[in-house]
Amino acid sequence: MKYELVAGFETHVELSTNTKIFCSCTTQFGGEPNTHCCPVCIGLPGTLPKLNKRVVEYAIRAGLATNCQIAEISKMDRKNYCYPDLPKAYQISQYDMPLCEHGYIELSNGRKIRILRIHIEEDAGKLVHSRGSTMVDYNRGGVPLIEIVSEPDIRSVEEAREYVEKLQLIMRYIGVSDCKMQEGSMRCDVNISVRPMGSETLGTRTEIKNMNSINFIAKAMEYEYNRQVDLIESGEKVIQETLRYDDVTNTTSGMRGKEDANDYRYFRDPDLVTIHVPRERVAKIADTLPELPMDKAKRYVDELGLPEKDAQLLVKYRAVAEYYEKAMEGTKNPKTAANFIIGQIFRTVENEAEKEAFDIKVSAESLNELIRLIDDGKIRMNLAKSTLDKMLESGKKPSELLSDSDMAGLDDSALNELCEKAIAENPNAVNDYKNGKEKAIKALVGYVMKNSRGKADAAAAEAKIKSMI
């Protein structure tokens, strides 16, 4: 029998506010344990929370960017459970009246992964296990989160990967979070079940908690799918439970029974007022949203003529996309700037974090200046490439690296002389070409380009060499 994977995600995204959700403590990552917290964070008796307005605005931005409806009226609730990282013994969250509902993210295959809700809540502290002891760091407690809950619409590991990647990209673009999974500012709980292919009945689900790597999510889902299929085919039942994933053994193991909503005994938080978001306020926030990455990539393909793959590489990082648009502004061919960025510049940017920041020595304005020299016929592509290499090393502008003679081009007599030298000094390549090896001409053209410092026209040089031979 064939089985179908069914998965939904609960994605926790830490918001990039300067202060926590209910107090003025910093949200800065790191710091000595228990130095970024106060009586409100750790719920000491007599303290009262005050909702951070920016948290609500950021959640609305996230909702609008994922096609959600924004509730005009919502409220905060207490989610009751007892765990060492939660000193109040309850988490302030949202239950039956979330801020955002009924959105979606569209995948490249055209399927829409529905978003049930996006709600705001506070993060818990962090448990640190060492040598048989467990310590608690409350620095993270009270950091503002949005929880993005999808419907169980994901049908493959590939769809899951794309969903998380797009969600991460959108949140970064709209500026609500850096979504650094390695720092825990984006974490996924993966709910997964299997069912016979063609069945509409959902199977018993398990939840893999706190996944902070897209690659590990993929591996965990593959393992858990196979584990559940093996249980079913062996006549055993899948138990609804919460699991942890071990990346060393590539296995999941049980942590505890999976809770349902009624286990948390939700009730309205009596210390916080109702949240009222007027339609006019939502409209103003919508006006501040940037062009989203999927829309930007489509525009690059449809209007600028970029290949789909190139467009996706450029929009993957907001800083790169902004750099590209400045670099290609007013140039004759938008592909030139794209080729320089994806080729030479990306080779000097080693990792994802560096691409995200894209703090390079060559300004977009300098690259634009270089491309305009190509457009005006003052320099050839080979010289432009070698000049860009120097710019990347020194941070200098093209005008500081190119002389008037560099931009003077090559007259016919000089080109004829170089072509004659290429033929005289490369007899083997000449013989190969005469014997039918067409590619041999490239060695001769290469000689001309090298000795002209890229000033020669490669096509003109090739034509001259062929006529001389």
For 348-397, the pLDDT digits (tens) are 998 888 888 899 999 999 999 999 999 988 888 888 999 999 999 999 99
| Judgement on whether residues 452 and 336 belong to the same structural domain of the protein | no
Span of 21-25, 55-59, 201-205, 352-356 with lowest mean pLDDT: 352-356
pLDDT above 70 as % of the chain: 97
Q: How would residue 404 be classed by pLDDT, with cut points 50, 70 and 90?
A: low
Residue whose C-alpha is closest to residue 225's, from 189, 194, 190:
194
Whether residue 235 is found in the same domain as residue 318: no
Provide DSSP, 305-364.
---HHHHHHHHTSHHHHHHHHHHHTT-S-HHHHHHHIIIIIHHT--SHHHHHH---SS-H
Could you tell me if 236 and 349 lie in one domain? no
pLDDT score, position 258:
61
Is residue 442 a part of any domain in this protein?
yes
In this structure, the answer to whether residues 323 and 268 fall within a common structural domain is no
314 and 438 housed in the same domain: no
Contacts of 443 (CB under 8 A, 6+ apart): 426, 429
Give tens-digit pLDDT for 252-266. Answer: 988 876 666 778 899
Average pLDDT, the chain: 92
- 143-180 burial string, b = 16+ CB within 10 Å, else e? bbbbbbbbebbbeebebbbbbbebbbbbbbbbebbbbb
Residues in the chain: 469
Question: Is the confidence at residue 136, as pLDDT, over 90?
Answer: yes
pTM confidence score: 0.84
The reply to whether 406 falls in a domain is no
pLDDT of residue 451: 80
Kindly indicate the confidence band of residue 407, based on its pLDDT and cuts at 50, 70 and 90.
Answer: low
DSSP 239-293: P-EEEEEETTTTEEEEEEEPP-GGGG--EE-TTSPPEE--HHHHHHHHHTPPPPH
Asked if residue 309 and residue 256 are part of one domain, the reply reads no
Q: Look at residue 405 and tell me whether its pLDDT is greater than 80.
A: no
Question: Which structural domain range is residue 266 located in?
Answer: 3-285
Share of the chain above pLDDT 90, in %: 72
Query: Under 8 Å CB-to-CB from 297, ≥6 apart: which residues?
Result: 308, 311, 312, 314, 315
The answer, yes or no, to whether residue 432 has pLDDT greater than 70, is: yes
Residues 35-80 pLDDT 10s:
999 999 888 999 999 999 999 999 999 999 999 999 999 999 999 9
Residue 50 lies in a domain: yes
